[in-house]
């Protein structure tokens, strides 16, 4: 099957993109690696930021300023202004697609506080906002005729010179490598916090696959060192305790019953404060008892239920142990003008993209907004591009290489345990590339990753069954994970300062000299170059030069 537009990723950004790219006559598909209902967007429970009145310029300006301040010198003003100004319209659009935000007795959408915000501007559906939004969007996309191709693992982009001509995918059902030709492709496949396996709110398959695909296609990754640690994960399971809990007035207390931080500070500040308590041998809890059972059940029903089911804790009477966990990654595929890339016909949006909206640190509640606003924009651009262009040829020599890779993984035997490698990689990343970093720790992590990168080509499936072989996907993911982890570590080593979510114990100050993004490029297979991004003018000249030589 061929498509006018292929969207990779089924979270809020991908769904908005597909809806916008669909016309009454064209063919649009959403491709997902796994379960459509388990995207990070659907787990983002606390809410979506927006000023509701589009003419309230003062409040919109405050939203812009909060977002810009949180980005710690690396925010892109144009992208931030675009997002915050579009927000009131986007909320209306989501309502028109069937999202039922919580309202007061007068039928007005209610809003809660989120950390780092100077006003209450987070709209919500109880504490399952992301799930409510994605379900409404899936329904709407289906009603428009968007096709859903689930259980497809994207191996590479199909390119014709510097133009996209489709995607090369592993069909998980039968392990066959297939091509989906497309005039335009949108990458919206989420971030890489899942590489912190065992210490992340993300599903384990959030392995930064599309970032690795982009790197292999010659694109650059930006801001990779900035990993957001959410202050509150369940201490045992890592599942998210939504910021809504603090937004509704919950406290953070240690085992002496003392509050030790302003709960509505930015996530990096709260996470570091908790980490310090834990370093000093204390336990940390979320305390909702003073809110009363009625409010907890009304505003935080999922959390109330999950605390009971997962930890046997009644939040109206007991404290819930928590710890900070990797939650969101600000780094991504370098985007210009919001969603464009250096490959013609290829657009990026959502967590896998770096468009400068979050810079060094994202505000809670801005991820669903960014996904919706830039997903919509990517869909509009992809539709216009696909209308103006024809299909470009598929380079089948690249497809054959991917078929050979899959065959090689099946053909030989191994005694190596790649699952154990993924787990130890998660441990190593959290310990050495976590909330607090040092040169020594980062170098240790780099050595470990170099070792793992040399091991990956020697990994093979133990089970040779080609139907739904989970080992095959795990090995391909590990290949991507090691590349992405290396990009994170090298960027973190290069940034010899503390900024936003990146905290270097050996360089605690923010250094104005480093007020620029770091980008990562693959020079040749497996060799990464990491450098501070050139000035905007130089970047433009490079793009013009590239366009002329292609």
Contact footprint for ligand SIN (CB under 6 A): 44-46, 240, 242-244, 328, 364-365, 367
| Cβ at position 244, least distance to ligand SIN in Å | 5
Q: Which is nearer to ligand SIN, 121 or 504 (CB)?
A: 121
| Cβ at position 336, least distance to ligand SIN in Å | 25
Distance between CA atoms of 276 and 196, rounded to whole angstroms? 20
| Cβ at position 125, least distance to ligand SIN in Å | 11
Q: DSSP letters of 96-156?
A: HTT----B-TTSPBPEE--TT-SS--EE-STT-HHHHHHHHHHHHHHHHT-EEE-SEEEEE
Distance between CA atoms of 182 and 194, rounded to whole angstroms? 29
| Cβ at position 46, least distance to ligand SIN in Å | 3
Q: Which is nearer to ligand SIN, 22 or 267 (CB)?
A: 267
**164 in Cβ contact with 392 (< 8 Å):** yes
| Cβ at position 8, least distance to ligand SIN in Å | 22
Q: Which residue is nearest to ligand SIN (CB)?
A: 46
What letter does residue 510 receive in the DSSP assignment?
Answer: -
**242 in Cβ contact with 46 (< 8 Å):** yes
Helix/strand number for the chain, H first, E second: 16, 19
**295 in Cβ contact with 310 (< 8 Å):** no
| Cβ at position 503, least distance to ligand SIN in Å | 19
**28 in Cβ contact with 4 (< 8 Å):** yes
| Cβ at position 437, least distance to ligand SIN in Å | 22
Q: Tokens 């559906």 belong to which residue?
A: 125
Q: DSSP letters of 36-93?
A: GGGSHHHH--S-EE--S-TT-HHHHHHHHHHHHHHTTT---HHHHHHHHHHHHHHHHH
Q: Which is nearer to ligand SIN, 21 or 44 (CB)?
A: 44
**Pairing outcome for strands 163-171 and 152-160:** antiparallel
Q: Tokens 């491709």 belong to which residue?
A: 31
Handedness of CA 425, 426, 431, 435 (dihedral sign): positive
Q: Tokens 């590339």 belong to which residue?
A: 433
Q: Which of 27, 112, 267, 499 is catalytic?
A: 267
| 267 is an active site residue | yes
Q: Which is nearer to ligand SIN, 3 or 251 (CB)?
A: 251
Between 57-70 and 77-96, two packed helices, what is the crossing angle to 10 degrees? 120
| Cβ at position 40, least distance to ligand SIN in Å | 9
| Beta carbons within 8 Å of 309's beta carbon, 6+ residues apart | none
Q: Which two tokens stand for residue 59?
A: 């409040």
Distance between CA atoms of 118 and 76, rounded to whole angstroms? 20
Q: Which is nearer to ligand SIN, 47 or 189 (CB)?
A: 47
Q: Residue 343: which of 76, 156, 89, 144 has the closest Cα?
A: 156
Q: DSSP letters of 113-124?
A: --TT-SS--EE-
- Give the SS3 label for residue 227: strand
End-to-end CA distance of the chain: 28
Handedness of CA 356, 357, 363, 365 (dihedral sign): negative
Distance between CA atoms of 229 and 435, rounded to whole angstroms? 7
| Cβ at position 201, least distance to ligand SIN in Å | 8
Q: Which two tokens stand for residue 453?
A: 């990168």
Q: Which is nearer to ligand SIN, 145 or 301 (CB)?
A: 301
**229 in Cβ contact with 327 (< 8 Å):** yes
Q: Which is nearer to ligand SIN, 50 or 474 (CB)?
A: 50
Q: Which is nearer to ligand SIN, 358 or 507 (CB)?
A: 358
Q: Which is nearer to ligand SIN, 322 or 406 (CB)?
A: 322
Q: Mind telling me the catalytic residues?
A: 267
């Amino acid at each position: 099957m061929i498509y006018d537009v292929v969207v990779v990723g089924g979270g809020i950004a991908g769904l908005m993109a597909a809806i916008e790219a669909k016309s009454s006559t064209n063919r649009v598909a959403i491709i997902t690696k796994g379960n459509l209902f388990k995207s990070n967007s659907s787990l983002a429970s606390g809410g979506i930021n927006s000023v509701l009145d589009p003419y309230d310029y003062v409040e919109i300006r405050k939203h812009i300023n909060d977002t810009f301040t949180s980005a710690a010198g690396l925010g892109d003003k144009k992208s931030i202004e675009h997002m915050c100004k579009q927000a009131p319209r986007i909320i209306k659009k989501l309502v028109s697609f069937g999202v039922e935000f919580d309202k007061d007795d007068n039928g007005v959408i209610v809003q809660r506080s989120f950390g780092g915000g100077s006003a209450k501007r987070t709209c919500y559906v109880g504490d399952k906002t992301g799930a409510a939004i994605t379900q409404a969007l899936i329904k709407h996309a289906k009603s428009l005729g968007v096709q859903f191709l689930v259980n497809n693992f994207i191996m590479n982009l199909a390119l014709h010179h510097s133009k996209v001509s489709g995607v090369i995918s592993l069909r998980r059902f039968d392990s066959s490598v297939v091509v989906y030709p497309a005039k335009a492709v949108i990458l919206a496949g989420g971030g890489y916090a899942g590489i912190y396996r065992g210490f992340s709110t993300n599903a384990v398959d959030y392995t930064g696959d599309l970032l690795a695909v982009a790197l292999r296609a010659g694109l650059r990754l930006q801001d990779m060192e900035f990993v957001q640690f959410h202050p509150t994960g369940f201490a045992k399971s890592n599942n998210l305790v939504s910021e809504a809990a603090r937004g509704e007035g919950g406290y953070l207390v240690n085992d002496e019953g003392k509050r030790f931080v302003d709960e509505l500070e930015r996530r990096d500040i709260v996470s570091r404060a908790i980490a310090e308590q834990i370093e000093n041998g204390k336990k940390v809890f979320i305390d909702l008892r003073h809110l009363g059972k009625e409010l907890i059940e009304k505003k935080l029903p999922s959390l109330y239920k999950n605390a009971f089911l997962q930890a046997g804790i009644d939040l109206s009477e007991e404290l819930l142990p928590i710890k900070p966990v990797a939650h969101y990654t600000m780094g991504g595929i370098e985007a210009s003008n919001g969603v464009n890339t250096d490959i013609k016909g290829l657009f990026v949006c959502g967590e896998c993209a770096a468009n400068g909206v979050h810079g060094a640190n994202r505000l809670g509640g801005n991820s669903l907004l960014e996904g919706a606003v830039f997903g919509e924009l990517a869909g509009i651009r992809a539709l216009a591009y696909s209308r103006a262009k024809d299909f470009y040829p598929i380079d089948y020599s690249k497809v054959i290489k991917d078929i050979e890779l899959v065959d090689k993984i099946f053909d030989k035997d191994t005694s190596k345990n790649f699952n154990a490698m993924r787990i130890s990689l998660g441990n190593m990343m959290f310990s050495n590339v976590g909330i607090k970093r040092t040169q020594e720790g980062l170098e240790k992590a780099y050595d470990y990753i170099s070792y793992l990168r040399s091991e990956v080509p020697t990994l093979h499936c133990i089970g040779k069954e080609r139907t739904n072989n989970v080992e095959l996907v795990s090995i391909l993911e590990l290949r991507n994970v090691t590349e992405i982890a290396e990009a994170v570590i090298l960027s973190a080593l290069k940034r010899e300062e503390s900024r936003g979510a990146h905290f270097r114990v050996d360089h605690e100050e923010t250094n104005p000299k480093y007020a620029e993004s770091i980008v990562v490029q693959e020079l040749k297979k497996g060799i990464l170059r990491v450098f501070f991004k050139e000035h905007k003018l130089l970047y433009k000249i490079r793009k013009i030069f590239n366009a002329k030589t292609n």
